[in-house]
Structure 1
Amino acid sequence: MTSWLHIHQGSAPLIVSIPHAGTTIPPEIAEHLVSHDLATHDADWFIPQLFGFAAEIGASVVRTDISRTAIDVNRDPSGQSLYPGQATTGLCPTETFDDVPLYLEGHAPRQAEIFRRRVSYFAPYHDALEGEIDRLRLIHPKVVLFDAHSIRSNVARLFEGELPALNLGTNSGASAGVEPTSIAERHMAASGFSHVTNGRFKGGWITRHYGNPEGGVHALQLEIAQRAYMDEPAGLDIPTWKPDRAAALQAVLKGLLTDLIDWTKAQ
């Protein structure tokens, strides 16, 4: 097992995927970057801590320590855009969300290097996800894959204005059935946080690739505006985890995931 890939095997019919919280950049990649702080600025800060309750409710958890700057395990490995016509970042991003170059001039990864990263870091993450889906499908007729994300509330290049606090994505209903989607929407509506379903963020490659409601896999993505649980970083400052600030949102998320487990078991 690689040291950067973390897999907790639970018994409940729920997998929490955390693909973007990593800040580790392998040395052979780091030497070509402008700076480590710039390369980790767009991380999904503190998502493992925010979902720290997942194991205690029986969920499986799959997460990577590898930064999305090295390779984004939530992008189509073919390189095809998930949001045609809209600004987004690629499989091996060469710029930040704010369109600032990540690599020193002339050092952006070429195809051979991108392929190496796919083999070294992308494939093991998805092998782990597929393994957990297959293992749990032997126990449960249906499973829920919950892809957990966060982002700064204001990123002008990616969306206008301030993002709602909670952004549920189901690939416009293709990756999850009506019932689990409704459960998530009820919890969002009762939370007091602003929310939307299938707005700017409809789900990344993980949600779209694995979601197969007719086949028993319901995949949902939740993109959380970071103001909902933390003080968003100023400039390239590294934020600090503040559990008291996150407690209200954690209560909402725990109730949401617990109800998803109960619904899936009832099937």
Structure 2
Amino acid sequence: MSWLSVVRGNAPLLVSLPHTGTEIPAPIAERLVSLPLARNDTDWWIDRLYDFAASMGATVVHTAISRSVIDVNRDPSGRSLYPGQATTGLCPTTSFDGTPLYRPGAEPDEADIDVRRRDYFDPYHAALAAEIARLRANHPCIVVYDCHSIRSVVPRLFEGELPVFNVGTNDGVSCAPELQAVVERHCDASGLSRVSNGRFKGGWITRHYADPANGIHAIQMETACRGYMDEHPDIEPVPYSSGRAAPLRSVLQRLFVDMVEWARQQNHNT
């Protein structure tokens, strides 16, 4: 599957990239209002921001399929992860701003959703599950780190300006408190704003795979785009700038070193 990539490493760290893809198959693209609109909620350049992960021994699982086709970080049953709050679904029909993505009458029906689950959702999660099992066979303790980004201001989803770092651990359920503290320490030392388990507490990946009692510690990091790229109101993203992203990358690289060291220490003590 050309859209799914897995880079295997041996460190006790798996990095998930579920929302940085922009590919939209032609039969679906023909039903959309516009491709730029459908891609507007992409986690822009997150794959570039974290491209150091594999060189540090992390396993990286990445889908190139757009979240507008199917969102692999949603509950496959269609249940909302944030009841009572605005969000987008398994196969989104609107953008984050509430703008319709499909031409009238062209929205995905249940049969469409089943096909997309089979073709894209299930293979991504099969890859995640297989890599988690492989790493756990070698390490009693591993970290699953789910990478995301979002525009700093999305009034339909949250009030005001989002902090740069949004750490999600499902209210402390998905990982050991000591690991959460490691992540928070690096965020706070950066001088950039941080909140833990605020608007974003972790999506399906964090909640589904987390099993701290059995050595699987999961964290979602939702980064406000302004932390590493320029933001503007147009729906086309600005080009990636290595210079603009460098300070945040430095923070994240140090964080990865300490997350791996934390996991190895747990393995040493087991």
Give the TM-score, by structure 1 length. 0.99
Counterpart of 1:63 in structure 2 is 62
Counterpart of 1:103 in structure 2 is 102
Once the two structures are superposed, residues 97-125 of structure 1 have per-residue CA deviations (whole angstroms, 9 ceiling, x without a partner) of 00000000000000011000000000000
Task: Using the TM superposition, give the Cα deviation of residue 126 of structure 1 relative to its aligned residue in structure 2, in angstroms.
Answer: 0.3
Once the two structures are superposed, residues 39-61 of structure 1 have per-residue CA deviations (whole angstroms, 9 ceiling, x without a partner) of 00000000010001101110000
Code of the residue aligned with 1:218 in structure 2: it is H
Measured in 1, the distance between the counterparts of 2:237 and 2:136 equals: 39
Code of the residue aligned with 2:128 in structure 1: it is L
Alignment of structure 1 residues 1-267 onto 2, 5 Å: 2-267=1-266
Task: Using the TM superposition, give the Cα deviation of residue 266 of structure 1 relative to its aligned residue in structure 2, in angstroms.
Answer: 1.2
Task: Using the TM superposition, give the Cα deviation of residue 234 of structure 1 relative to its aligned residue in structure 2, in angstroms.
Answer: 2.7
* Matched positions, count: 266
CA-atom RMSD in angstroms? 0.6
Given that 2:44 and 2:237 are in contact with CA atoms closer than 8 Å, whether structure 1 keeps it comes out as no
Residue identity (%): 58
Task: Using the TM superposition, give the Cα deviation of residue 28 of structure 1 relative to its aligned residue in structure 2, in angstroms.
Answer: 1.3
Code of the residue aligned with 2:118 in structure 1: it is V
Task: Using the TM superposition, give the Cα deviation of residue 257 of structure 1 relative to its aligned residue in structure 2, in angstroms.
Answer: 1.1
Measured in 2, the distance between the counterparts of 1:21 and 1:225 equals: 14
SS of the equivalent of 1:135 reads: helix
SS of the equivalent of 1:69 reads: coil
Task: Using the TM superposition, give the Cα deviation of residue 168 of structure 1 relative to its aligned residue in structure 2, in angstroms.
Answer: 0.1
Measured in 2, the distance between the counterparts of 1:180 and 1:142 equals: 11
Code of the residue aligned with 2:69 in structure 1: it is A
Measured in 2, the distance between the counterparts of 1:256 and 1:104 equals: 43
Task: Using the TM superposition, give the Cα deviation of residue 161 of structure 1 relative to its aligned residue in structure 2, in angstroms.
Answer: 0.2
SS of the equivalent of 1:158 reads: coil
Runs (4+) off by over 6 Å: none
Task: Using the TM superposition, give the Cα deviation of residue 235 of structure 1 relative to its aligned residue in structure 2, in angstroms.
Answer: 1.6
Once the two structures are superposed, residues 47-101 of structure 1 have per-residue CA deviations (whole angstroms, 9 ceiling, x without a partner) of 0100011011100000100000000000000000000000000000000000000
Q: Which runs of no fewer than 5 residues in structure 2 stay unpaired? A: none
Q: Which runs of no fewer than 5 residues in structure 1 stay unpaired? A: none
Once the two structures are superposed, residues 142-165 of structure 1 have per-residue CA deviations (whole angstroms, 9 ceiling, x without a partner) of 110000000000000000000000
SS of the equivalent of 2:61 reads: strand
Once the two structures are superposed, residues 190-209 of structure 1 have per-residue CA deviations (whole angstroms, 9 ceiling, x without a partner) of 01110010000000000000
SS of the equivalent of 1:89 reads: coil
Measured in 2, the distance between the counterparts of 1:83 and 1:194 equals: 23
Code of the residue aligned with 2:161 in structure 1: it is E
